[in-house]
């Protein structure tokens, strides 16, 4: 496979030539924001929604994207084309940049835009997607908005990394994180849903406003399911009939075991299957897609 092409320092280069300064505040302090989007069959799904969240994250951290929104769209489309992929994982990052000093002083930093594209990759092994994930509640918590607002998709994801390490050490597939009050919050890079009957519930505090979470809410309403953003205790998860995680990169992933308790029947349930199908159909429909290739290629 040829080397991936990456946009960095204002230009497209092969991955082996894609470098940033060791004095970039992203390296020194995890200071920057990112977005992850998905291209499916040559269309970028819900790009506008990702860009809206991206610009809010930038604004909240007093960062500026080095290019206009219009140019950013063009560069993302170009990055997918240059990597010649139709099903892709797309990530773009704005780092605070460097001012030549290894100090926590942002003045004079020049922001850097990085765009990465890789062929689509599954976030869990196929058999785990089929049987359902075994999940462990992590001791480490999601920070509250007073500490580091989870709405900001920042490069400061260490508490999710710690949670994942904890889950792995315990032999689980993924970690569930609670918020600082002990309520169910989100997973390692996923939003969370629990199912009781034909009713879906999802945490509402200290979470990233997931694009997939919003798609699930809208699809559930179309399917005449009840959906509620609410406060959930671990008890609500342990006693749920079904539970699933969702994200752009992972889609919908069933959870069949939490902290040694089986969820529902211990198998992915009918509501998960209905929702997962609806979500895959929505992506495949191209309804919210920005086409990357010209219509001739997109149609072949
Ligand atoms: N929560 C966190 C902490 C995330 O990083 C992500 C994305 N990886 C999500 C939820 C899911 O968000 P989205 O559906 O927009 O990918």
Q: Is the CB of 244 under 6 A from ligand 1?
A: no
Classify residue 292 as exposed, middle or buried by CB count within 10 Å of its CB (0-12, 13-18, 19+): buried
Same structural domain for residues 68 and 106?
yes
Q: Is residue 51 assigned to a domain?
A: yes
Closest residue to atom 7 of ligand 1, CA basis: 189
Please identify, by atom number, the ligand 1 atom nearest to the C-alpha of residue 142: 3
Same structural domain for residues 198 and 269?
yes
Same structural domain for residues 255 and 137?
yes
For each of the chain's 300 residues, which pLDDT tens digit applies?
689 999 999 999 999 999 999 999 999 999 999 999 999 999 999 999 999 999 999 999 999 999 999 999 999 999 999 999 999 999 999 999 999 999 999 999 999 999 999 999 888 888 888 999 999 999 999 999 999 999 999 999 999 999 999 999 999 999 999 999 999 999 999 999 999 999 999 999 999 999 999 999 999 999 999 999 999 999 999 999 999 999 999 999 999 999 999 999 999 999 999 999 999 999 999 899 999 996 544 444
Same structural domain for residues 132 and 281?
yes
Cβ contacts of 216 within 8 Å, gap of 6 or more: 191, 193, 200, 202, 227, 246, 252, 275, 279
Q: Is residue 83 assigned to a domain?
A: yes
CA distances (Å), 70 to each of 57, 65, 239, in order? 18, 11, 47
What's the CA-to-centroid distance between 36 and ligand 1, angstroms? 8
Q: Is the CB of 210 under 6 A from ligand 1?
A: yes
Same structural domain for residues 140 and 266?
yes
Q: Is residue 297 assigned to a domain?
A: no
What's the CA-to-centroid distance between 24 and ligand 1, angstroms? 25
Predicted pLDDT at 298? 44
Q: Are 155 and 30 in contact (CB under 8 A)?
A: yes
Same structural domain for residues 211 and 272?
yes
What CATH number does the domain containing 278 carry? 3.20.10.10
Q: Is residue 11 assigned to a domain?
A: yes
Same structural domain for residues 146 and 205?
yes
Same structural domain for residues 144 and 106?
no
Predicted pLDDT at 123? 81
Same structural domain for residues 278 and 142?
yes
What CATH number does the domain containing 36 carry? 3.30.470.10
Dist CA 291 CA 300 (whole Å):
13
Predicted pLDDT at 128? 84
What's the CA-to-centroid distance between 16 and ligand 1, angstroms? 28
Dist CA 123 CA 93 (whole Å):
20
Q: Is the CB of 211 under 6 A from ligand 1?
A: yes
Dist CA 129 CA 134 (whole Å):
10
Please identify, by atom number, the ligand 1 atom nearest to the C-alpha of residue 212: 14
**What is residue 73's three-state secondary structure?**
helix
Q: Tell me which residue of 155, 174, 150 sits closest to 94, measured CA to CA.
A: 155
Neighbours of 68 (CB within 10 A): 9
Closest residue to atom 9 of ligand 1, CA basis: 190
Same structural domain for residues 27 and 105?
yes
Enclosing domain of residue 70: 5-119
From 119, 142, 167, the end of a domain falls on 119
Same structural domain for residues 84 and 149?
no
From 85, 119, 153, the end of a domain falls on 119
Q: Is residue 290 assigned to a domain?
A: no
Q: Is residue 48 assigned to a domain?
A: yes
From 59, 93, 119, the end of a domain falls on 119
Q: Is the CB of 208 under 6 A from ligand 1?
A: yes
What's the CA-to-centroid distance between 299 and ligand 1, angstroms? 30
Tokens for 251?
A: 């889609």
Q: Are 178 and 142 in contact (CB under 8 A)?
A: yes
Q: Is the CB of 95 under 6 A from ligand 1?
A: no
Q: What's the helix, strand, coil split of the chain in %, to 5? A: 30, 30, 40
Q: Is residue 215 assigned to a domain?
A: yes
Predicted pLDDT at 82? 98
Q: Is residue 293 assigned to a domain?
A: no
Dist CA 185 CA 262 (whole Å):
19
- The domain tally of the chain equals 2
Q: Are 7 and 113 in contact (CB under 8 A)?
A: yes
Predicted pLDDT at 125? 81
Same structural domain for residues 95 and 159?
no
């Amino acid at each position: 496979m040829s080397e991936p092409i990456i946009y960095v320092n204002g230009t497209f280069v092969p991955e082996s030539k894609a470098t940033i300064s060791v004095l970039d505040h992203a390296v020194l302090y995890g200071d920057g924001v990112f977005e992850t989007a998905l291209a499916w069959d040559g269309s970028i799904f819900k790009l506008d929604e990702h860009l809206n969240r991206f610009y809010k994250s930038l604004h909240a951290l007093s960062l500026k994207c080095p290019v206009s929104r219009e140019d950013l769209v063009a560069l993302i489309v170009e990055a997918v084309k240059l990597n010649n992929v139709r099903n892709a994982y797309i990530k773009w990052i704005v780092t605070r940049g460097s001012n030549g000093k290894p100090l926590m002083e942002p003045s004079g930093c020049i922001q850097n835009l990085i765009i990465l594209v890789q062929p689509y990759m599954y976030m869990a092994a196929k058999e785990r997607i089929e049987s359902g994930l075994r999940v462990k509640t992590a001791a480490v918590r999601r920070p509250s908005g007073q500490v580091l607002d989870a709405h900001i998709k920042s490069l400061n994801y260490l508490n999710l990394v710690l949670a994942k390490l904890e889950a792995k050490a315990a032999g689980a597939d993924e970690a569930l994180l609670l918020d600082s009050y002990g309520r169910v919050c989100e997973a390692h890079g996923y939003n969370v849903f629990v199912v009781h009957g034909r009713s879906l519930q999802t945490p509402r505090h200290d979470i990233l406003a997931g694009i997939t979470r919003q798609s699930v809410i809208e699809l559930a309403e179309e399917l005449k399911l009840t959906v509620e953003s609410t406060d959930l205790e671990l008890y609500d998860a342990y006693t749920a009939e079904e539970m699933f995680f969702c994200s752009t990169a992972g889609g919908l992933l069933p959870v069949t075991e939490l902290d040694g308790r089986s969820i529902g029947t211990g198998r992915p349930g009918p509501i998960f299957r209905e929702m997962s199908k609806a979500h895959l159909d929505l992506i495949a429909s191209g309804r919210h897609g920005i086409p990357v290739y010209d219509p001739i290629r997109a149609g072949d």
